[in-house]
A and B are shown apart, each in its own frame.
Chain A
Amino acid sequence: MATYSAIKYNVDYGGFAGALIPIATFTSDGSDSNATFTSGIDSTYDEYLFIFNNIHPQTDNRGLRFIASVNGGSSYGVETTSTAFQASHGEGDAGGALAYNTEHDAAESTSAISLISEQANDNDLALSGYMRLYNPASTTFVKHFMCVGTHSGSGGGGADAAVHRYIGGYINTTSAVNAIKFDMQSGEIQGGTIQMFGVH
Protein backbone atom coordinates (compact mmCIF):
# COMPACT_ATOMS: atom_id res chain seq x y z
CA MET A 1 0.00 0.00 0.00
CA ALA A 2 1.30 3.43 -0.91
CA THR A 3 2.33 5.66 1.92
CA TYR A 4 1.77 9.38 2.11
CA SER A 5 5.43 10.09 1.48
CA ALA A 6 5.42 7.87 -1.60
CA ILE A 7 2.32 9.53 -3.01
CA LYS A 8 3.85 13.01 -2.97
CA TYR A 9 6.63 11.87 -5.26
CA ASN A 10 4.15 10.58 -7.79
CA VAL A 11 2.77 14.03 -8.59
CA ASP A 12 3.77 14.77 -12.17
CA TYR A 13 4.53 18.41 -12.90
CA GLY A 14 5.96 17.63 -16.31
CA GLY A 15 3.04 19.21 -18.11
CA PHE A 16 4.05 22.61 -16.81
CA ALA A 17 7.44 22.63 -18.49
CA GLY A 18 8.25 26.13 -19.68
CA ALA A 19 5.95 27.82 -17.21
CA LEU A 20 7.04 30.95 -15.42
CA ILE A 21 6.90 30.46 -11.67
CA PRO A 22 6.68 33.73 -9.73
CA ILE A 23 9.25 33.91 -6.95
CA ALA A 24 9.51 37.53 -5.83
CA THR A 25 8.43 41.00 -6.86
CA PHE A 26 10.04 44.32 -6.05
CA THR A 27 7.68 47.30 -6.25
CA SER A 28 9.30 50.67 -5.90
CA ASP A 29 7.91 52.92 -3.19
CA GLY A 30 9.16 55.89 -5.16
CA SER A 31 12.51 56.35 -3.44
CA ASP A 32 14.53 53.14 -3.44
CA SER A 33 18.30 53.09 -3.48
CA ASN A 34 18.25 49.55 -4.85
CA ALA A 35 16.24 46.35 -5.31
CA THR A 36 17.70 43.14 -3.93
CA PHE A 37 16.78 39.50 -4.44
CA THR A 38 18.56 37.53 -1.73
CA SER A 39 16.48 34.37 -1.59
CA GLY A 40 15.00 32.01 -4.12
CA ILE A 41 18.02 31.96 -6.42
CA ASP A 42 19.28 28.40 -6.17
CA SER A 43 19.27 25.10 -8.03
CA THR A 44 15.48 24.85 -8.19
CA TYR A 45 15.48 26.32 -11.69
CA ASP A 46 18.00 26.22 -14.51
CA GLU A 47 16.91 29.65 -15.66
CA TYR A 48 15.66 32.76 -13.90
CA LEU A 49 13.82 35.59 -15.63
CA PHE A 50 13.68 39.15 -14.31
CA ILE A 51 11.09 41.44 -15.92
CA PHE A 52 11.50 45.20 -15.52
CA ASN A 53 8.34 47.25 -15.88
CA ASN A 54 8.39 51.05 -16.01
CA ILE A 55 11.55 51.65 -13.99
CA HIS A 56 11.76 55.39 -13.49
CA PRO A 57 15.05 57.04 -12.47
CA GLN A 58 15.51 59.96 -10.14
CA THR A 59 18.45 61.22 -12.19
CA ASP A 60 18.15 62.11 -15.84
CA ASN A 61 19.84 59.77 -18.30
CA ARG A 62 20.72 57.16 -15.74
CA GLY A 63 19.76 53.54 -16.20
CA LEU A 64 19.53 50.18 -14.54
CA ARG A 65 22.52 48.12 -13.38
CA PHE A 66 22.96 44.79 -11.62
CA ILE A 67 25.61 43.24 -9.42
CA ALA A 68 25.88 39.65 -8.25
CA SER A 69 26.67 38.02 -4.93
CA VAL A 70 27.95 34.55 -4.06
CA ASN A 71 27.29 34.89 -0.33
CA GLY A 72 23.59 35.57 -0.14
CA GLY A 73 23.97 39.31 -0.38
CA SER A 74 26.50 39.86 2.40
CA SER A 75 28.66 41.44 -0.25
CA TYR A 76 28.27 42.16 -3.94
CA GLY A 77 30.83 42.27 -6.71
CA VAL A 78 31.83 39.28 -8.84
CA GLU A 79 34.08 39.59 -11.88
CA THR A 80 31.84 40.01 -14.91
CA THR A 81 32.55 40.47 -18.60
CA SER A 82 29.84 41.78 -20.90
CA THR A 83 29.01 43.28 -24.28
CA ALA A 84 26.52 46.04 -24.99
CA PHE A 85 25.05 47.59 -28.09
CA GLN A 86 22.05 49.71 -28.94
CA ALA A 87 19.83 51.08 -31.66
CA SER A 88 18.56 54.61 -31.10
CA HIS A 89 16.27 57.05 -32.84
CA GLY A 90 15.09 60.50 -31.78
CA GLU A 91 11.56 61.83 -31.63
CA GLY A 92 12.75 64.50 -34.06
CA ASP A 93 13.88 61.76 -36.50
CA ALA A 94 17.55 62.30 -35.71
CA GLY A 95 20.15 59.68 -34.96
CA GLY A 96 18.71 56.47 -36.32
CA ALA A 97 21.78 54.33 -35.73
CA LEU A 98 23.17 51.07 -34.45
CA ALA A 99 26.22 51.33 -32.20
CA TYR A 100 28.41 49.31 -29.89
CA ASN A 101 28.47 50.83 -26.37
CA THR A 102 32.01 50.77 -25.00
CA GLU A 103 30.82 52.88 -22.07
CA HIS A 104 28.40 50.15 -20.99
CA ASP A 105 30.39 46.95 -21.47
CA ALA A 106 32.50 45.38 -18.75
CA ALA A 107 35.85 43.59 -18.66
CA GLU A 108 36.24 41.48 -15.52
CA SER A 109 34.57 44.23 -13.57
CA THR A 110 33.53 43.75 -9.96
CA SER A 111 31.43 46.92 -10.09
CA ALA A 112 27.76 47.09 -11.05
CA ILE A 113 27.10 46.05 -14.65
CA SER A 114 25.14 48.32 -16.98
CA LEU A 115 21.88 46.92 -18.26
CA ILE A 116 19.24 49.26 -19.68
CA SER A 117 21.06 52.56 -19.49
CA GLU A 118 20.48 56.28 -19.92
CA GLN A 119 16.78 56.54 -19.15
CA ALA A 120 15.29 60.04 -19.22
CA ASN A 121 13.64 61.13 -15.98
CA ASP A 122 10.70 62.90 -17.66
CA ASN A 123 7.60 62.25 -15.55
CA ASP A 124 6.00 60.16 -18.30
CA LEU A 125 8.98 58.05 -19.33
CA ALA A 126 10.44 54.84 -17.94
CA LEU A 127 12.42 51.79 -19.02
CA SER A 128 11.25 48.21 -19.50
CA GLY A 129 12.82 44.91 -20.48
CA TYR A 130 13.99 41.60 -19.15
CA MET A 131 17.11 39.72 -18.10
CA ARG A 132 17.66 35.97 -18.19
CA LEU A 133 20.13 34.41 -15.77
CA TYR A 134 21.18 30.87 -16.54
CA ASN A 135 21.95 28.16 -14.00
CA PRO A 136 23.17 30.44 -11.20
CA ALA A 137 23.68 27.51 -8.83
CA SER A 138 26.27 25.86 -11.03
CA THR A 139 29.61 25.27 -9.39
CA THR A 140 31.16 24.09 -12.64
CA PHE A 141 30.48 26.86 -15.11
CA VAL A 142 30.36 30.65 -15.32
CA LYS A 143 26.87 32.21 -15.15
CA HIS A 144 25.55 33.60 -18.41
CA PHE A 145 23.04 36.43 -18.54
CA MET A 146 21.27 38.17 -21.39
CA CYS A 147 19.26 41.36 -21.16
CA VAL A 148 17.09 43.19 -23.69
CA GLY A 149 15.43 46.47 -22.93
CA THR A 150 13.70 49.44 -24.40
CA HIS A 151 14.00 52.89 -22.93
CA SER A 152 13.69 56.54 -23.75
CA GLY A 153 16.90 58.50 -23.70
CA SER A 154 16.89 62.10 -22.65
CA GLY A 155 17.40 64.63 -25.37
CA GLY A 156 19.04 66.97 -22.89
CA GLY A 157 16.63 69.76 -23.69
CA GLY A 158 16.00 68.45 -27.17
CA ALA A 159 13.88 65.59 -28.34
CA ASP A 160 13.87 62.34 -26.38
CA ALA A 161 14.83 59.16 -28.17
CA ALA A 162 13.83 55.51 -28.31
CA VAL A 163 16.69 53.18 -27.45
CA HIS A 164 16.77 49.40 -27.86
CA ARG A 165 19.55 47.94 -25.74
CA TYR A 166 21.16 44.50 -25.78
CA ILE A 167 23.53 43.32 -23.07
CA GLY A 168 25.00 39.89 -22.63
CA GLY A 169 27.82 38.41 -20.65
CA TYR A 170 28.92 36.08 -17.92
CA ILE A 171 29.56 36.30 -14.22
CA ASN A 172 33.02 34.81 -14.20
CA THR A 173 32.87 32.51 -11.21
CA THR A 174 32.29 28.84 -10.51
CA SER A 175 30.76 29.70 -7.15
CA ALA A 176 26.99 29.64 -7.02
CA VAL A 177 25.41 33.06 -7.52
CA ASN A 178 22.62 33.37 -4.95
CA ALA A 179 21.74 37.06 -4.77
CA ILE A 180 21.29 39.90 -7.24
CA LYS A 181 21.06 43.63 -6.61
CA PHE A 182 19.68 46.17 -9.06
CA ASP A 183 20.19 49.91 -8.82
CA MET A 184 20.45 53.00 -11.00
CA GLN A 185 23.77 54.41 -12.20
CA SER A 186 23.05 57.31 -9.88
CA GLY A 187 20.08 58.40 -7.83
CA GLU A 188 17.09 56.38 -6.78
CA ILE A 189 14.65 54.02 -8.40
CA GLN A 190 11.55 56.17 -8.29
CA GLY A 191 8.96 53.84 -9.73
CA GLY A 192 8.31 50.51 -11.33
CA THR A 193 8.45 46.80 -10.62
CA ILE A 194 11.03 44.04 -10.98
CA GLN A 195 9.64 40.52 -11.00
CA MET A 196 11.75 37.39 -10.58
CA PHE A 197 10.48 34.14 -12.10
CA GLY A 198 11.84 30.63 -12.22
CA VAL A 199 11.52 29.06 -15.65
CA HIS A 200 10.18 25.58 -15.06
Chain B
Amino acid sequence: MATYSSIAHNFTPPAANIGAMTLIKTLTASSSGTISFVDGSSSVVLDDTYKTYLFKFINCHPSDNGPNFNVNFSIDTGSNYNVTKTSTFFHSRHDEDGSDGQVVYDTGGDLAQGTGNQYISRGIGNGSAEDCVSGELWLFNPANTTFATNFMGTSNSVELNASSQETYFAGYCNSTSAVDAVRFAFNAGNIDAGTFKMYGIA
Protein backbone atom coordinates (compact mmCIF):
# COMPACT_ATOMS: atom_id res chain seq x y z
CA MET B 1 0.00 0.00 0.00
CA ALA B 2 1.29 3.45 -0.88
CA THR B 3 2.27 5.64 2.02
CA TYR B 4 1.63 9.33 2.31
CA SER B 5 5.29 10.14 1.65
CA SER B 6 5.55 8.00 -1.44
CA ILE B 7 2.38 9.50 -2.89
CA ALA B 8 3.70 13.00 -2.30
CA HIS B 9 6.88 12.25 -4.18
CA ASN B 10 5.07 10.61 -7.06
CA PHE B 11 2.56 13.36 -7.59
CA THR B 12 3.18 15.57 -10.60
CA PRO B 13 1.46 18.92 -10.28
CA PRO B 14 -0.52 20.07 -13.32
CA ALA B 15 1.62 21.99 -15.75
CA ALA B 16 1.13 25.69 -16.19
CA ASN B 17 0.02 25.12 -19.76
CA ILE B 18 -2.66 22.60 -18.89
CA GLY B 19 -5.05 24.57 -21.07
CA ALA B 20 -4.96 25.04 -24.81
CA MET B 21 -4.39 28.79 -24.65
CA THR B 22 -0.75 29.69 -24.19
CA LEU B 23 0.68 33.12 -23.54
CA ILE B 24 3.49 33.37 -26.08
CA LYS B 25 4.79 36.87 -25.62
CA THR B 26 4.08 40.12 -23.80
CA LEU B 27 5.46 43.39 -25.11
CA THR B 28 5.26 46.71 -23.32
CA ALA B 29 5.26 49.91 -25.31
CA SER B 30 7.25 52.89 -24.13
CA SER B 31 7.42 55.68 -26.70
CA SER B 32 7.47 52.92 -29.31
CA GLY B 33 6.97 53.64 -32.98
CA THR B 34 5.61 50.16 -33.57
CA ILE B 35 5.03 46.91 -31.72
CA SER B 36 5.77 43.82 -33.78
CA PHE B 37 5.41 40.09 -33.24
CA VAL B 38 7.70 38.29 -35.70
CA ASP B 39 7.93 34.53 -35.97
CA GLY B 40 11.31 33.30 -34.83
CA SER B 41 12.28 36.58 -33.23
CA SER B 42 12.42 37.27 -29.48
CA SER B 43 10.78 33.95 -28.61
CA VAL B 44 7.75 34.66 -30.76
CA VAL B 45 6.08 31.68 -32.41
CA LEU B 46 3.74 32.57 -35.28
CA ASP B 47 3.53 29.41 -37.35
CA ASP B 48 1.58 26.16 -37.45
CA THR B 49 2.27 25.43 -33.79
CA TYR B 50 -1.14 26.93 -33.06
CA LYS B 51 -4.28 26.97 -35.17
CA THR B 52 -5.48 30.30 -33.80
CA TYR B 53 -3.67 33.34 -32.45
CA LEU B 54 -5.22 35.97 -30.19
CA PHE B 55 -3.61 39.36 -29.60
CA LYS B 56 -4.73 41.65 -26.81
CA PHE B 57 -3.74 45.30 -26.71
CA ILE B 58 -4.40 47.03 -23.43
CA ASN B 59 -4.29 50.71 -22.53
CA CYS B 60 -2.44 51.89 -25.61
CA HIS B 61 -1.88 55.61 -25.22
CA PRO B 62 -0.83 57.72 -28.22
CA SER B 63 1.76 60.47 -28.12
CA ASP B 64 -0.29 62.52 -30.61
CA ASN B 65 -3.88 63.68 -30.29
CA GLY B 66 -6.30 61.91 -32.59
CA PRO B 67 -4.32 59.23 -34.44
CA ASN B 68 -5.74 56.01 -35.78
CA PHE B 69 -4.62 52.71 -34.31
CA ASN B 70 -3.66 50.15 -36.94
CA VAL B 71 -2.50 46.64 -37.60
CA ASN B 72 -0.75 45.14 -40.61
CA PHE B 73 0.57 41.75 -41.57
CA SER B 74 3.72 40.36 -43.15
CA ILE B 75 4.50 37.23 -45.15
CA ASP B 76 8.28 37.76 -45.05
CA THR B 77 8.93 37.81 -41.28
CA GLY B 78 8.56 41.54 -41.00
CA SER B 79 10.62 42.78 -43.93
CA ASN B 80 7.41 44.23 -45.36
CA TYR B 81 3.99 44.79 -43.86
CA ASN B 82 1.87 45.03 -46.98
CA VAL B 83 -0.33 41.98 -47.43
CA THR B 84 -3.35 42.58 -49.65
CA LYS B 85 -6.50 42.79 -47.53
CA THR B 86 -10.24 43.20 -47.93
CA SER B 87 -12.07 44.15 -44.76
CA THR B 88 -15.06 45.71 -43.05
CA PHE B 89 -15.15 48.31 -40.30
CA PHE B 90 -17.99 49.68 -38.20
CA HIS B 91 -18.31 51.40 -34.89
CA SER B 92 -20.68 52.58 -32.23
CA ARG B 93 -19.99 55.69 -30.21
CA HIS B 94 -21.44 57.82 -27.43
CA ASP B 95 -20.15 61.09 -26.04
CA GLU B 96 -19.44 61.71 -22.38
CA ASP B 97 -22.06 64.49 -22.41
CA GLY B 98 -24.72 61.96 -23.39
CA SER B 99 -24.99 62.96 -27.03
CA ASP B 100 -24.38 61.31 -30.37
CA GLY B 101 -25.12 57.68 -29.57
CA GLN B 102 -24.96 55.81 -32.86
CA VAL B 103 -23.82 52.68 -34.67
CA VAL B 104 -22.63 53.13 -38.26
CA TYR B 105 -20.58 51.48 -40.96
CA ASP B 106 -17.39 53.48 -41.45
CA THR B 107 -16.07 53.44 -45.00
CA GLY B 108 -12.97 55.27 -43.85
CA GLY B 109 -11.77 52.25 -41.96
CA ASP B 110 -12.25 49.39 -44.38
CA LEU B 111 -9.98 48.10 -47.17
CA ALA B 112 -10.68 46.84 -50.68
CA GLN B 113 -7.66 44.82 -51.77
CA GLY B 114 -5.55 47.38 -49.98
CA THR B 115 -2.02 46.78 -48.78
CA GLY B 116 -2.03 49.58 -46.23
CA ASN B 117 -2.78 49.39 -42.55
CA GLN B 118 -6.06 47.99 -41.26
CA TYR B 119 -7.74 50.41 -38.88
CA ILE B 120 -8.44 49.07 -35.43
CA SER B 121 -9.70 52.36 -34.03
CA ARG B 122 -9.89 55.98 -35.18
CA GLY B 123 -9.24 59.38 -33.65
CA ILE B 124 -7.90 58.33 -30.29
CA GLY B 125 -7.46 61.16 -27.85
CA ASN B 126 -4.45 61.95 -25.73
CA GLY B 127 -5.86 65.05 -24.06
CA SER B 128 -5.84 63.22 -20.77
CA ALA B 129 -3.21 60.85 -19.55
CA GLU B 130 -5.86 58.18 -19.12
CA ASP B 131 -7.02 58.24 -22.76
CA CYS B 132 -6.20 55.04 -24.62
CA VAL B 133 -7.45 52.14 -26.72
CA SER B 134 -7.85 48.49 -25.71
CA GLY B 135 -9.11 45.43 -27.52
CA GLU B 136 -8.26 42.21 -29.27
CA LEU B 137 -7.40 40.72 -32.65
CA TRP B 138 -8.07 37.14 -33.72
CA LEU B 139 -5.88 35.64 -36.46
CA PHE B 140 -6.96 32.28 -37.86
CA ASN B 141 -4.54 29.64 -39.08
CA PRO B 142 -1.94 32.10 -40.41
CA ALA B 143 0.50 29.34 -41.41
CA ASN B 144 -1.87 27.74 -43.89
CA THR B 145 -0.94 28.01 -47.55
CA THR B 146 -4.28 26.90 -48.97
CA PHE B 147 -6.68 29.61 -47.89
CA ALA B 148 -6.65 33.35 -47.38
CA THR B 149 -5.96 34.21 -43.76
CA ASN B 150 -8.99 35.46 -41.83
CA PHE B 151 -8.78 38.03 -39.07
CA MET B 152 -11.27 39.90 -36.90
CA GLY B 153 -11.21 42.11 -33.87
CA THR B 154 -12.82 44.70 -31.69
CA SER B 155 -11.69 47.62 -29.58
CA ASN B 156 -12.88 50.36 -27.30
CA SER B 157 -11.21 53.73 -27.15
CA VAL B 158 -11.55 57.21 -25.77
CA GLU B 159 -12.11 59.30 -28.86
CA LEU B 160 -10.48 62.71 -28.98
CA ASN B 161 -13.76 64.52 -28.37
CA ALA B 162 -14.42 62.62 -25.16
CA SER B 163 -16.55 59.77 -26.32
CA SER B 164 -16.57 56.03 -26.04
CA GLN B 165 -15.89 54.45 -29.41
CA GLU B 166 -16.40 50.71 -29.92
CA THR B 167 -15.03 49.35 -33.19
CA TYR B 168 -15.51 46.08 -35.04
CA PHE B 169 -13.28 45.04 -37.91
CA ALA B 170 -12.82 41.84 -39.90
CA GLY B 171 -11.49 40.61 -43.20
CA TYR B 172 -8.95 38.42 -44.89
CA CYS B 173 -5.37 38.67 -46.01
CA ASN B 174 -5.95 37.73 -49.62
CA SER B 175 -2.85 35.62 -49.97
CA THR B 176 -2.12 31.93 -49.68
CA SER B 177 1.33 32.69 -48.31
CA ALA B 178 1.78 32.11 -44.59
CA VAL B 179 1.40 35.20 -42.43
CA ASP B 180 4.38 35.23 -40.07
CA ALA B 181 4.45 38.71 -38.52
CA VAL B 182 1.97 41.21 -37.10
CA ARG B 183 2.61 44.89 -36.42
CA PHE B 184 0.63 47.42 -34.39
CA ALA B 185 1.11 51.20 -34.64
CA PHE B 186 -0.57 54.56 -34.56
CA ASN B 187 -0.60 56.34 -37.90
CA ALA B 188 1.06 59.37 -36.28
CA GLY B 189 3.40 59.61 -33.36
CA ASN B 190 4.37 56.85 -30.97
CA ILE B 191 2.71 54.35 -28.71
CA ASP B 192 3.58 56.11 -25.47
CA ALA B 193 2.37 53.23 -23.34
CA GLY B 194 0.50 49.98 -23.67
CA THR B 195 0.66 46.26 -23.12
CA PHE B 196 0.47 43.78 -25.98
CA LYS B 197 -0.12 40.10 -25.34
CA MET B 198 0.07 37.31 -27.90
CA TYR B 199 -1.61 33.97 -27.22
CA GLY B 200 -1.65 30.74 -29.19
CA ILE B 201 -4.63 28.40 -29.10
CA ALA B 202 -3.61 24.88 -30.02
Contact = CB atoms under 8 A, between A and B. Distances in A.
Interface string A56-93: 10000000000000000000000000000001111111
Interface residues on A, range: 35 or more
A25 to B, nearest CB: 9
A162 B111 CA distance: 9
Nearest to A19: B19
Interface in B1-33: 2, 4, 7, 11, 13-14, 18-21
Interface in B157-176: 168-172, 174, 176
B99 interface: no
Contacts of B90: 87, 98, 164
Nearest to B105: A98
B193 interface: no
A150 B51 contact: no
Contacts of A195: 20, 51, 201
Interface residues of B, number: 44
Contacts of A16: 14, 18-19
Interface in B37-53: 51-52
A107 interface: no
Interface string B81-114: 0000011111000000000000111010011110
B51 A200 contact: no
Interface string B49-73: 0011000000000000000000000
Given A125-B147, A164-B90, 6 more contacts: A13-B14, A19-B18, A51-B51, A91-B113, A150-B140, A150-B151
